Structure formats: structure tokens, C-alpha cells
Amino acid sequence: MRRRTFTLLVIMCLGHVMLISAQVQSKSGLPVIQDVAFGTLARMQSIASGITDGIGSIWTKYFALRGVERDNEELRKHVLELEGELQSERAKNSRTRALEDALKLSENLKARTLAARVIAGNPSPGAFTVTIDRGTDDGVQVDMPVLSGTGVVGRVIRPSARAALVQLLIDKSAAAGAILEKSGAGGIIAGHGDGTLRLQLVSPLVKIDLGEKVLTAGQDGIYPQGFVVGTVDWIEGTGKTREIGVRPSVEFSHIEIVLVVLDRPALAQQVDGK
């Protein structure tokens, strides 16, 4: 009974306050109750507006970032395309230079030659061979020398109808007769199996300079005389124990165009001017 009386009293007081608020005016000229309600509603609208603006800003930034990401992806694709075109042009220039070197070499040779393109290397470790796109149908035979514009590449070891396997001079089982440019002293140039060459069987009395050119001797029945093999890179020891390292003149990791010499050295003894 008391609780009901108290509840009724509270309701009557609140109604009385609201009646008074409706009659009493605020500073703005509106009834207090309207002013309070308006202020409360305004604050709620402000909060709602802030939340909406925040969400809108997040979505705007999200879509902006997605747009930037798409632009970056397009730029990356464009850069890759340009890099591909640049590499293609470099490859074309490289092939052009190799062909020009081969043509110059062909002009200086009295022997018949055949231009060939390297179409494959040997993936086996320690195997220094390449395959060219010329074979027996083109006149290629075993032991024919293969040259490039910068020097001696190697010799044909296994020809087929339309291709041939070439053993590179740096192979550990490859060798050729050689002479030193300054002294004319003879020796044997041999592959070392690690991409380098060794000059062997040179008299210990012969003075050898670093950087001196090593040329083919033309007496091994394979390679024409006077072609560059490489340059003396280092000398270790003295006398009979002297070891001579030779840096190849050919960049064996990047061979594209070569010349196969179709005539034996007996038919083509000299390079012009030798």
C-alpha cells in the first residue's frame, strides 16, 4: 500500500514538473521542456552524424586505397612490360654484334666457313659442350674447328644431320697447339674443367709476361694458325714446375653466333696478314 502511494506521488511530481516546464520559458524563448528535448535531439543527431561521417570517411579511404592498389598493380605490370622490351632489345643488339663479329672474322679467313647459331648448352655439371644448328647436311664433320668473333670456341665432336655437338676449349679433355705472341714459343693450351685454361709444355727458359696473348699454332690438324685463345692471367712457380693460367678470350657463358671452319688447316694455313 505504501509502495503504491509512493509511486503515485512520484508520478504526480513528474507531471507537475513537466507542466511547469511547459509553461516556463527558457532564455531562447521556448518552453523549458521543448528546449531540453530539442537540445537532446540535437546532440543525438550530432552523434549520429559523426558516426555516419566516420563510416563514410572509412569507406571513402577504403575505396581510395583500392584505387591506389589497382593503379600500383597497373604500374607494376607496365614496368615489367618495359623491362621485357628492354631485355629483348638488348638480346637483339647482342645477336647483332655477335653476327657482325662473325662476319668480320669470315672476311679475314681464307678458309670456307659456315655461320651457326648456338641452340643449347649442356646442363650437366662440368660438361662444357654446346649444340649448334648446323650438321652434316650443311657439310659439318667431326673435328672441324668452331670460332667466334673473339677467339677459339672449340671443335665439333658429334655431328648429326641438322645439328652438331661442340666441345668447348675449356673442357678438361680439350686441348690445342698454342704459341705465345711475343716469343713465338710453342706449347699446349688445355682446358682445366673450371672455365679456365692452362698453357703447358712451354720451355722453362721462355720469358712470359702477364697479359701476353696466346694464339693457336695451327699444327694440331684442327685449328687454323693465329687465332686468339686468351691472355696470360697468372704465373706460379718457376722452371719445370711453372704453371701458367690463361684467361679465355671467349665469354663461354654467352655464345650465340659461331663460325664452323669447313676447311682443314692444311688447306687454310693462315689468317690474312700472317
Q: What is the pLDDT confidence band of residue 15, given thresholds at 50, 70 and 90?
A: low
Question: Would you say 140 and 156 are in contact if contact means Cβ atoms under 8 Å apart?
Answer: yes
The Cα–Cα gap between 154 and 167 comes to 5
Residue for grid cell 697479359? 211
The Cα–Cα gap between 8 and 2 comes to 10
Answer yes or no: is pLDDT of 27 > 70. no
93: its cell numbers? 643488339
Answer yes or no: is pLDDT of 132 > 80. yes
**Closest Cα to residue 58, out of 47, 46, 69, 66?**
66
233 CB-near residues (< 8 Å, 6+ apart):
196, 210, 245, 246, 247
Three-class DSSP category at 198? strand
Q: How many degrees, rounded to 5, is the angle at CA 11 between CA 8 and CA 13?
A: 110
Using only C-alpha atoms, what is the Rg of the chain? 44
- The residue ranges of DSSP E strands in 33-174, in sequence order, are 113-121, 129-132, 145-148, 151-159, 164-168
The pLDDT assigned to 129 comes to 93
In the chain, what's the furthest Cα-to-Cα distance? 138
The pLDDT assigned to 239 comes to 83
Question: Would you say 271 and 226 are in contact if contact means Cβ atoms under 8 Å apart?
Answer: yes
The pLDDT assigned to 148 comes to 87
Answer yes or no: is pLDDT of 84 > 50. no
- The proportion of the chain whose per-residue pLDDT surpasses 90, expressed as a percent, equals 38
Question: Would you say 198 and 192 are in contact if contact means Cβ atoms under 8 Å apart?
Answer: yes
The Cα–Cα gap between 199 and 213 comes to 11
Higher per-residue confidence, 95 vs 262:
262
The Cα–Cα gap between 132 and 125 comes to 20
The Cα–Cα gap between 235 and 244 comes to 5
Report pLDDT digits (tens) over 32-64: 455 555 455 556 655 655 665 566 566 565 556
Report pLDDT digits (tens) over 153-172: 999 999 999 999 999 999 99
The Cα–Cα gap between 160 and 137 comes to 8
Answer yes or no: is pLDDT of 174 > 80. yes
Give CA separation, 28 vs 21, 31, 34, 38, 53, in Å.
Answer: 14, 8, 10, 11, 29
The pLDDT assigned to 271 comes to 43
Answer yes or no: is pLDDT of 76 > 70. no
The pLDDT assigned to 195 comes to 84
Answer yes or no: is pLDDT of 176 > 90. yes
Higher per-residue confidence, 149 vs 49:
149
